[in-house]
A = this chain, B = another copy of it.
């Protein structure tokens, strides 16, 4: 079966998502036009609509699949002690954030540009991720290896602190990834009173 001239469907689909993710993260969803995305991909604007229903669906898809990836990649170890589990969470979150800085940045920056239906679905996924950390903190308090005034607020505070890494991290900067993770783990451990 002959291929249509110029057909590159196998790469165009993922490429649209990659380029859109990058542009949305750098300029913001509303500031990026479909023409810009198309130009980065190397197709005409109309072609994008063979892959996505509309711009909103593209954003929702990027955010939802990021949250799904994040949840799928995280696995708690209920056998381990709370401090060990927290350390794993911190290192996991930092590593994931540094591997996918655009997706992470986007996912906590562009929730407000989702339609209510899309927002609800993605906020629910985010809530599950937060719960994963919160349960570690509650177990740590119960086991008396952590001192935490308010586990819910501490969860949000720790995630905000860790996610902040995407605001300043640049490849080849002063600190390497292992060192950064080490420093953040020290901060988190201290914050929970361990």
A positions within 8 Å CB-CB of B: 26-31, 108-109, 112-113, 147, 149-150, 153-154, 156-161, 163-164, 167-168, 175, 180, 182-184, 186-188, 190-193
The 27 listed contacts between A and B (C-beta, < 8 Å) are A26-B112, A27-B112, A28-B29, A28-B30, A28-B113, A29-B30, A29-B31, A109-B109, A147-B190, A149-B182, A150-B183, A153-B180, A153-B183, A153-B184, A154-B183, A156-B167, A156-B168, A157-B161, A157-B183, A157-B187, A158-B161, A160-B160, A160-B163, A161-B161, A187-B191, A188-B191, A190-B190
Q: How far is A192 from B154 in the complex, measured between Cα atoms in Å? A: 16
A112 touches B190 (CB 8 A): no
CB distance from A136 to the nearest CB of B (A): 15
Q: How far is A127 from B169 in the complex, measured between Cα atoms in Å? A: 16
B150 touches A175 (CB 8 A): yes
Looking at A164, A167, A180, A183, which has the most chain B CB atoms within 10 Å of its CB? A164
Q: How far is A175 from B151 in the complex, measured between Cα atoms in Å? A: 13
Report chain B residues within 8 Å CB of A186: 149, 193
B154 touches A187 (CB 8 A): yes
CB distance from A95 to the nearest CB of B (A): 16
Report chain B residues within 8 Å CB of A164: 156-157, 159-161, 164
Q: How far is A154 from B184 in the complex, measured between Cα atoms in Å? A: 8
CB distance from A175 to the nearest CB of B (A): 7
CB distance from A79 to the nearest CB of B (A): 26
Report chain B residues within 8 Å CB of A154: 183, 187
Known: A160-B163, A167-B156, A190-B191. A183 touches B28 (CB 8 A): no
